[in-house]
A and B are shown apart, each in its own frame.
Chain A
């Protein structure tokens, strides 16, 4: 299971990097999103996977059972996911506007456009 997830994180990061290195800004954006996902999953797994439990204290228990996943990391990842969603939406719209203005989403072409 852990090896599987490690490979998955690697695949996400690899695909993200590959997209990041392309010319089309739209693909660059998707690449960024993929890398963000990879980082999120990485932090999430670093906190420990447990046995599929959530970080919820049982009905009668007073505290979390032994070997539970780290709740702090999960909370941080949740925050990261929401923020990356917001930023992605913002970037998408920025890209849309740029596209409207220059009718081009190519990095090289944009580099030659003044202001």
Chain B
């Protein structure tokens, strides 16, 4: 699952301009290396030590034991994220949203002159396959989202896959499903956060604390299996939308800013 995040890292860094390295000479080469080796050794020892330490696992045991009877979920990690510690997750997606907004503001929003019509220079194989892969990725992301409560998957990973599907459309510059890429990330993000926030409200009417989960009936879908409807599901959908929106917004602002700069430089020549 973390490989996807890694891929996104690569994407984000790839979009950077080739920064001119003025001074490759490092400061105090030997000393820095020495410090680095020391820190590395320290971390290694710490990790070795960490294997032996028996952290009191009462909390984890409690959570794991309550996961199925109280939250109806078999994927304990996901249950913790969207149910037991939902407030943490809400803070987290808020941080993500603010980061994306900050990037948007710093780069001055989307570039006004879209040049998405340029088609040359892209591999036809990529273009042809994207037509089928991108919709499949979106579908797969929804599948991941829905089954996340019981099996590996969930809102985060689903949102990442969905965003990557949309980014793929843009990378391949296909003319067909550009709408997919054009989905306004800002709106996705706001809807997602609103869903997450509102999913905590129903429990208030029952006299419980904010974000206590309220469960309804269950229904089953082909290929996914039984899904129990409840506020955590809405919360997870909210997380999905926020993550997808944030990643898309980050990519889009960076990419369009970049191509706008290139335009200016081309004109100057």
Contact = CB atoms under 8 A, between A and B. Distances in A.
Contact of B80 (A10, A71, A104): A71
Interface in B119-169: 150-152, 156
Task: Tell me whether chain B's interface is mostly helix, strand or loop, or mixed.
Answer: helix
Interface residues on B, range: 35 or more
Interface stretch (B67-75, B192-200, B211-219): B67-75
Task: Tell me whether chain A's interface is mostly helix, strand or loop, or mixed.
Answer: helix
A71 B66 CA distance: 12
Contact of A71 (B76, B95, B150): B76
A10 B27 CA distance: 22
Contact of A42 (B23, B43, B81): B43
Contact of A46 (B2, B22, B55, B243): B55
A43 to B, nearest CB: 8
A21 B107 CA distance: 28
Contacts of B2: 81
Interface residues of A, number: 62
A42 B152 contact: no
Contact of A23 (B26, B47, B67, B68): B26
B193 to A, nearest CB: 14
Interface string A10-27: 111111111001111010
Interface string B32-48: 11011101111111111
15 contacts: A6-B44, A7-B44, A10-B41, A14-B41, A23-B26, A24-B19, A33-B9, A55-B77, A56-B150, A57-B64, A70-B60, A72-B60, A75-B80, A79-B88, A105-B22
Interface of A: 2-3, 5-7, 9-18, 21-24, 26, 33, 38, 41-42, 45-47, 54-58, 62-64, 68, 70-75, 78-79, 81-83, 85-90, 92-94, 96-97, 99, 104-106
